């Protein structure tokens, strides 16, 4: 089983739609969780960290379920500029290594 | 505000050739990392340097060497390039584990023929 699994997509959604991405991780010792965004042929950039209580940043909401080892990202009112690949990332306590999922590709269509 | 700078941006090598990928950061970060990204795969850690003077292997270190030249610079060397090393290479830096944010360079696209 891969350490971090994501639905690769692509997700093709119209502008204004709400879209949700899911991610599962296999290492129960994972301590930190993130969503990174990667535009085509660009470097990954941190979108948001994911906290146990869930957190929101504008149109983006992230949730963590430690018992099910499951992370989600919800994007409301999708914009054309949200088109990118979204990477689910986990990290063990005190570990320097980030473990990346393969990414979920989102295309927002006019 | 350069952040993490990688050179070169593109490179084509023949099998058996050697080269060094350069990475420099201007954020006074302690930790630096080298990843590779292949189609259909997540980013995989090759080597990292937790602090100046230290280096450690990541998930896929075979065929690579690294040097943490100083706090700013972390280079990745391919001694004898192989087609399997065709990939996009990203360097990243991080202030410390507590901050928990890695900043990536723009990447080096390497093809080994």
Instruction: Choose among A32, A47, A44, A42: nearest CA to B92.
Output: A44
Query: Per-residue pLDDT for A9 more than 60?
Result: yes
Q: How far is B75 from chain A (nearest CA, A)?
A: 18
Query: Per-residue pLDDT for A23 more than 90?
Result: yes
B51: nearest CA partner in chain A: A96
Q: Which residues of A touch B42 (CB under 8 A)?
A: 4, 87, 99-103
**Which among B33, B42, B59 has CB closest to A102?**
B42
All residues at 6 or more sequence positions from B67 whose CB lies less than 8 Å from its CB, including other chains: B55, B74, B75, B77
Which residues of chain B register pLDDT less than 70?
A: 1
**Which among B42, B102, B104 has CB closest to A103?**
B42
Q: How many CB atoms lie within 10 A of CB A32?
A: 16
By the CB < 8 Å criterion, does B26 face chain A? no
For residue B1, what pLDDT is reported? 65
Cα distance between residue A50 and residue A29, in whole Å: 15
Residue that wins the pLDDT comparison between A74 and A9: A74
Q: How far is the first Cα of chain B from the last one, in angstroms, to the nearest whole number?
A: 35
Cα distance between residue B18 and residue B40, in whole Å: 26
For residue B42, what pLDDT is reported? 86
């Amino acid at each position: 089983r891969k350490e971090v699994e994501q639905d690769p997509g692509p997700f093709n959604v119209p502008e204004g739609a709400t879209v949700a991405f899911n991610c599962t991780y296999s290492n129960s010792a994972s301590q930190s969780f993130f969503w990174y965004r990667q535009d085509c042929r660009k470097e990954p950039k941190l979108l948001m960290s994911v906290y146990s209580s869930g957190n929101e940043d504008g149109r983006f909401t992230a949730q963590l379920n430690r018992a099910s080892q499951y992370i989600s990202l919800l994007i409301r009112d999708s914009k054309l500029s949200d088109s990118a690949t979204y990477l689910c990332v986990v990290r063990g306590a005190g570990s320097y290594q980030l473990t990346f999922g393969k990414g979920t590709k989102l295309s927002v269509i006019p | 505000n350069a952040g993490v700078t990688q050179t070169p941006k593109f490179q084509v090598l023949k099998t058996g050739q050697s080269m060094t990928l350069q990475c420099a950061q201007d954020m006074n970060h302690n930790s630096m990392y080298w990843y590779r990204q292949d189609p259909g795969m997540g980013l995989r850690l090759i080597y990292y340097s937790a602090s100046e003077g230290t280096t450690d292997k990541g998930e896929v270190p075979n065929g690579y060497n690294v040097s943490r030249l100083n706090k700013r610079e972390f280079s990745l060397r391919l001694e004898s390039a192989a087609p399997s090393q065709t990939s996009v290479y990203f360097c990243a830096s991080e202030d410390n584990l507590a901050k928990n944010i890695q900043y990536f360079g723009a990447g080096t696209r390497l093809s080994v023929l």
